[in-house]
Amino acid sequence: MLNRLWRRVAICWLVVLVIPSLASAQEAEPTYLVVDCMKSTSSQYADVETDIWKPMHQELVNQGKKVSWAFYWVLYGDRSACDYYTVNIVTASQLNSMDGNVRDVFEKVHAGKDFDKMMEKTAAAREMGRTELWQMIDVIQPEDFTYVQVNQMSADDGMAYIEMEREVFRPVHEAMVEAGTTAGWGVYRLVSPHGSAVGYNFGTADFLHTLGSVDWNSWLRKVHPDKDPDEIGAHLNDSRDFLKGDTWVLLDRTAPAE
Residue 213, Ramachandran bin (φ over 0: left; ψ between -120 and 50: alpha; else beta) = beta
Beta strand 202-208 with 147-154 is: antiparallel
Domain with CATH 3.30.70.100 in the chain: 2-135, 138-249
What whole-number distance in Å separates Cα of residue 207 and Cα of residue 215? 16
Residues 236 and 164: beta-carbon distance below 8 Å: yes
State the distance between the two ends of the chain, measured CA to CA, in whole angstroms.
28
CATH of 138-249, one of 3.30.70.100, 3.40.50.2020, 3.40.50.300, 3.10.20.440: 3.30.70.100
CATH of 2-135, one of 3.30.70.100, 3.30.465.10, 3.40.1350.10, 3.55.50.30: 3.30.70.100
What whole-number distance in Å separates Cα of residue 112 and Cα of residue 55? 15
Strand ranges in 3-109 using DSSP code E only, listed in sequence order: 31-40, 68-76, 84-91
Q: pLDDT in tens for each of the 258 residues of the chain?
A: 434 434 443 443 344 334 333 333 346 899 999 999 999 999 999 999 999 999 999 999 999 999 999 999 999 999 999 999 999 999 999 998 787 799 999 999 999 999 999 999 999 999 999 999 999 999 999 999 999 999 999 999 999 999 999 999 999 999 999 999 999 999 999 999 998 899 999 999 999 999 999 999 999 999 999 999 999 999 999 999 999 999 999 999 999 998
